[in-house]
Structure formats: structure tokens, C-alpha cells
Amino acid sequence: MIAMFDSGLGGLSVWQAVSAALPQWPITYLADQAFCPYGQRSREEIAERSVKICRWLAEEGASILVVACNTATTAAIADVRRELAIPVVGIEPAIKPAAAMSRTGRIAVLATEYTLASERVKTLLDAHAGDVEVLRRPGAGWVEQVEAGDLSSDATRELVRAAVAPLLEQNIDHIALGCTHYPFLAPLIRELTGDGIRLYDPAEAIARRVESLLDEQGLQPPAPRRHRFITTDPDASGMSQRLPALIGQPYVVESLRLQ
């Protein structure tokens, strides 16, 4: 099976892309809601937690693992890859294509403060955005709104407006989304940007990478397919209630106590 995890529900945007690209494969998705949001934690905390989660998913039979969280990728993917023998796929803001396609020479990256300040983002900027000005902006409160299932209230609209509106005055033409929670707020972003600014969500690129790795290893999907959804929140009802709005259908959610 394919396994993936995120600090919470944001990685479901990656789940949608991988599930659509590989409809025969079962996916186990783990939301670490007991520790969400990761952006407020230290690198050491995130790395320790990520390794623990990934080790558990590997023991459950994962053939490939997706770290469907920009913050966890930034803080922990090297540790996870040292720990596991299976392929591990991380995620990062789509700065490369956004910079390459820019006509105005100005793009924006929306991400958590942790991701924006990370060495990983600095490396991406140095490698792919040398001739492009990149405006970095945190989506303050966005993760919490998605976790609460609040995708369209006036309060959520105001949080989106506060982050995006100032960027529209800077002649940007592309926005790279650097948090897997943020694609769920793309309709509100587009209300502000219209069609003149392109949003880059790396989820489809992740799906292509997963498919490529499965093909390289000659792996075949097990039968029957059975998706699993797991939360580290002792009360799984919150995640259960939010799945239909986020991925379009309900599923039973398991609760996992992971110390």
C-alpha cells in the first residue's frame, strides 16, 4: 500500500491527486492532529515525531511513503530516509515552475513561517529563482481554518484576503502554494486573484513521482483495495465529519495513540 502523513488534514490534497492517478492502489493516510500544527514546533520535535510516524506506517506494510507536509519534509525527510528502507517522497513549494513561467519577474510563495524560513526554501530560491523576485508570505491562521473544516466563512475569507491582497499590488503573476492545507482555500484565493495569476499546487507532481517509483520497483497493487484514514486525535469524529467536504466522500476514521 501507499502510505502518507501530514500534521493534519492538509495532506488530503495530496491524497486526492495520488488516488486519482493510481485508482487501484490502497492508501493509508495518517493525520497527526494531536501535534498539529507542526509550524509552531522545533525542528527536533518535528523530526522525532515524523520518524516515529513513518516507522509505524512502514511496519503496517507501506511499499512507499509520502511525507505530505511541507514543514515535515523541510524538518525531517533526511531523518526519515535514513530510518526507512522503502522509498520516501517529500513535498516542497513549486518555486521552480512558477519562477520559470513568470512574465513579470515577480512571484509569491504562500507557506507556513517555518517553511518560508527554512534552508530548503532558500536552496530552491538560489537554484531556480535567481532572476525572479520572490515574495514570501505566511498564510496566518489558514491551517487552523482548514483543520476546523471552515473553508468559506467570512472569517476565513478575511484571513485569505489579509495574506493575498497585499501581493496583488506587487505585479506578481504566479503563486506557489507551500503548504498542503492551502489548496483547500484556492477558491478563496482565486476570488481575489481572478484568472490573471496562476496557482501552483505540487500535488500532481507528487502523484507522478509516486507512480514512477512504483513502476521502477515493479510493484503491483494488493487486492482488495482498502483505503485507511487514521488520526492521532483520541476523538476521530472530527476528522470523520470533515472528510466529505475535503475529499468528497465519507470514510471510517481510526484513532491511533502514538506516544
Residues classed as catalytic: 69, 179
Phi-psi label, residue 141: left if phi above 0, alpha if psi -120 to 50, beta otherwise: left
Checking 116-124 for CB contacts under 8 A at 24+ apart, the result is 116/178, 118/74, 118/75, 119/74, 120/73, 120/74, 120/92, 121/74, 121/92, 121/93, 121/95, 121/178, 124/92, 124/93, 124/95, 124/96
Which three cell numbers, joined as nine digits, stand for 49?
515525531
Q: Which candidate, 44, 80, 48, places its Cα nearest to that of 64?
A: 80
